[in-house]
Structure 1
Amino acid sequence: MKNHFKYLIAIFTITTSCAELTQIVQTIEGDRPLTQTEVANGLREALKIGTDSAAGRLSQVNGYYGDELVRILLPPEASVITDNLNRIPGGDKLLEDVIIRINRSAEHAAKEATPIFVNAITRMTIQDAFTILRDGDNAATQYLRNHTYNELFNLYQPKIESSLNQSIVAGVSTNESWESLTGQWNRLAGSLAGQIAGFNTVEINLDEYLTHQALDGLFLKLAEEEAKIRTNPAARVTALLERVFGSSEAQR
C-alpha cells in the first residue's frame, strides 16, 4: 500500500507543474474539516490581533481624545460645573484641559490593557472558541468583556481618578468642584421646594462614570476589529484565520 502511495506521488510530481500541485494540495487542505484545536487556536489568534490593534490605537496620543466615537466627556449632569467654568475668564480652556487630562489618563491605561486580554485569551477553552465562532457578530468581544472588565476597571479607574484630583483653578480639582456643586444641588433637590419642583438628585460617582466610559470605548474599538476579521477576508492576515473564519463564513 505504501509503495502504491509513493507511485501516485511520483506520477503527480511528473505530470503536474509546481503551481498545479500546490493548488491541488491547497484544495484538499481547504476541504478538510476544521479540528477543535484549529478553531481554538484560530479564535485565540484573532483575539490577540484584535486586542493588540484596539488597545494599540487607543494608547496613542489622541487615541481617545482625537476620536469622537470614544472621546471621554463629563456626564450631562456636569453642566453644574461647566456652566460655572464658562463664567470665568479662560473657563473654556480650563474645561478643555480637564477633558484632555481624563482622555490622556485613559490613553495611558490602554498601554497596559494587552496583558489582561492575553491572560483571558490564554484561559479560553475549546468550548468557548466554538461558542464564539457559532454565535458570530461580536461574540468574541463579549467574551473578553465578560472575562476582563473588572480587571480593566481596576487598571483604568486609579489613573482617571488621579486626573480628576489635579487642580484646575484656584487650587480646586475637578472632583472637589463636582462634589461641592452636586452637593449643593442635591440639598436643593431634597428640600421641600425641590421636591415640589420635581428636581432629581445627582448621584454619580464621577471617576467610576468616566472609567465605564473609557472601557466602553475600548470594547467598541475591539468590536470593530472583530467585525473586520469576520467580514473582510483581507483582514485575515494568517492562513489559520482564513481557514477558521472562511469556513465559518461558508457555513452561513
Structure 2
Amino acid sequence: MDRRQLTIALTAAPLTLPFPARAAGLASITDADATKGLKTALETGALNAVKLLGVNDGFLANPKVHIPLPSALQDASKLLKAMGQKKQVEDLEIALNRAAEAAVPMAKNLLVNAVRGMSVTDAKNILTGGDTSVTHFFEGKTREPLSGQFLPVVQQAVSKVGLAAKYDKVAGKAAGMGLLKQEDASINHYVTRKALDGLYLVIGDEEKKIRQNPVAAGSDILRKVFGALK
C-alpha cells in the first residue's frame, strides 16, 4: 500500500476534525507507523476481549454475547419446565455459557499470531472495510482452527448436564429430516459457534474503543497513529 492509498484508507475511519487538520496530522504518519498502530490496536483489542469473556460470567452475564438455548430447545423448554425439569433446563443454559467462558482463553495465541502475521492487504481491507472488517479478519484467520480447539473443552463442560445428550439425540433426528439446521444438530457445535461469534464481536467493539480513545490504551504508537485522526 503506498502513502496515498494508506492516507485515503485512514481517512475513511471515524474522524472528528475538519479535513485540513486531519491531513496535517496524517502527513506525519509513515506507512510503517500506520501498520504498526493497526496491529497494536488489533492485538490489544483481541487480548482485552479474551480477558472480558474468558472469566466467570463473561458470557452468562453479558447480554450482548450470552448464549441462549438452541432455538429448537427454547420451544421445548416450556414443556420441559411444566414437566418438572425447570432446573435441568436452567442448568443446561448455564453450562453452555460456562463452556464458552472456559474455551475462550485458548484463543489468545492464535489471535495474536493472526495479527502479527497480518499482510499489507489485510491492513488495507481492515482500514477500508467498515464496522465489520475486524470481525471478518479474525474469522478468516482463526475460526476454523479455534473451532477445533474449542470443541473438546465445550464438550467436556456441557456433557455434565444430562439434558445435553437428550437434546443431541432428538436434534440429530430433526436435522436429518430437515426440521433443524445442521449446525444446531449438536449442542457442542452450537456452543462453539456461538462462543466464536461472541469473541469476534467483542474484539471488534474493543478495537473501536481504541480508535476512539487511543490515549486510554496507554500505547505511544496508538496515540501517534489514531491521535492523528482526531
TM-score tier after normalising by the smaller chain length: 0.7 to 0.9
User: Which consecutive unaligned segments of at least 5 residues does structure 2 have?
Assistant: 1-23
Deviations 1:188-214 (A, max 9, x none): xx6xxxxxxxxx622432222221111
Say yes or no: does 1:63 pair with 2:58: yes
Report deviation, 1:184.
6.8
Query: Equivalents in 2 of 1:186, 1:36: separation in Å?
Result: 50
1:30, 1:243 within 8 Å by CA — same for their partners in 2?
no
Report deviation, 1:30.
5.5
TM-score, structure 2 normalization: 0.77
The equivalent residue for 2:21 is none
Larger radius of gyration: 1
Say yes or no: does 1:174 pair with 2:179: no
The equivalent residue for 1:94 is 88
2:106, 2:150 within 8 Å by CA — same for their partners in 1?
no
Query: Equivalents in 1 of 2:175, 2:206: separation in Å?
Result: 42
Higher RCO by CA contacts (8 Å cutoff, separation 6 or greater): 2
After superposing on structure 2, the runs of 4+ consecutive aligned residues of structure 1 that deviate more than 6 Å are none
The equivalent residue for 2:201 is 220
Residue identity matched to 2:164: T
Report deviation, 1:68.
1.2
Question: Identity rate of aligned residues, in percent?
Answer: 29
The equivalent residue for 2:10 is none
Give the alignment of 1:111-122 within 5 angstroms. Answer: 111-122=105-116
2:50, 2:107 within 8 Å by CA — same for their partners in 1?
yes
CA gap 1:57/1:107 in 2 versus in 1, 3 angstroms: same
Report deviation, 1:88.
3.4
Query: Equivalents in 2 of 1:234, 1:167: separation in Å?
Result: 45
Query: Equivalents in 1 of 2:106, 2:155: separation in Å?
Result: 17
Equivalent of 1:205 in 174, 185, 189: 185
Report deviation, 1:130.
3.5
Deviations 1:66-94 (A, max 9, x none): 111111112111146424431333x2221
CA gap 1:228/1:57 in 2 versus in 1, 3 angstroms: same
Say yes or no: does 1:139 pair with 2:125: no
CA gap 1:226/1:138 in 2 versus in 1, 3 angstroms: farther
Query: Equivalents in 1 of 2:194, 2:106: separation in Å?
Result: 17
Provide the aligned C-alpha RMSD in A: 2.6
1:36, 1:126 within 8 Å by CA — same for their partners in 2?
no
Q: What is the count of residue pairs matched by the alignment?
A: 204
User: Which consecutive unaligned segments of at least 5 residues does structure 1 have?
Assistant: 1-28, 191-199
Report deviation, 1:225.
0.5
Give the alignment of 1:17-166 within 5 angstroms. Answer: 32-79=27-74, 81-89=76-84, 91-166=85-160
Query: Equivalents in 1 of 2:173, 2:219: separation in Å?
Result: 58
